[in-house]
Amino acid sequence: MSHHRETVTALGAPAAIGPYSHAVRSRGMLYCSGQIAVDPATNELVDGGPGAQARKCLENLRAVCAAAGAELGDAVRLTVYLSDMAAFAEVNEVYSEFFPADPPARVAIAVAGLPKDVDVEIDAIVALPE
């Protein structure tokens, strides 16, 4: 392990489905891998459409942040990947529940496909508390 880079594993988030870490901590920042709507207790996809999936993605990111000693509210930027931009409003509704004031910067991108054929994936960059 490098002195300027430390991987973070979150017991409260689903196991990675590939060769990547939940997050990497470096120089006061936490770089979180994308989360999809997998329930960590069952390792199964959650039922529901894009809104339900976005909720689980954000809950999983919250668990990753907690494992690093941060909160999701410390995020400075999130990227939301959507398989269909028609879900933008539905995802925004759920997203706003997690960031009711002073939300982080964000990008929303429509993509051709996502792991496990989900509708939504979300990653985050988080400022770690001092």
Q: Domain of 16: which CATH number?
A: 3.30.1330.40
Of 106, 9, 1, nearest to 54 by C-alpha is 106
Tokens of 44: 């199964």
The parent domain of residue 117 ranges over: 6-121
Query: Is 129 inside a domain boundary?
Result: no
Residue 51 lies in a domain: yes
Q: pLDDT-derived band of residue 3, with 50, 70 and 90 as boundaries?
A: confident
Residues in the chain: 130
- For residue range 80-130, list pLDDT tens digits in order: 999 999 999 999 999 999 999 999 999 999 999 999 999 999 999 999 998
Q: Is residue 126 part of a domain?
A: no
On whether residue 1 sits in a domain, the answer given is no
Contact predicate 114/37, CB 8 Å: no
> Which of helix, strand or coil describes residue 81?
strand
Residue 49 lies in a domain: yes
- What pLDDT was estimated at residue 81? 98
Number of folded domains that form the chain: 1
Q: Tokens 């000693």 appear where?
A: 69
Judge whether 127 lies within some domain. Answer: no
Structure confidence by residue, pLDDT tens digits, 41-87: 999 999 999 999 999 999 999 999 999 999 999 999 999 999 999 99
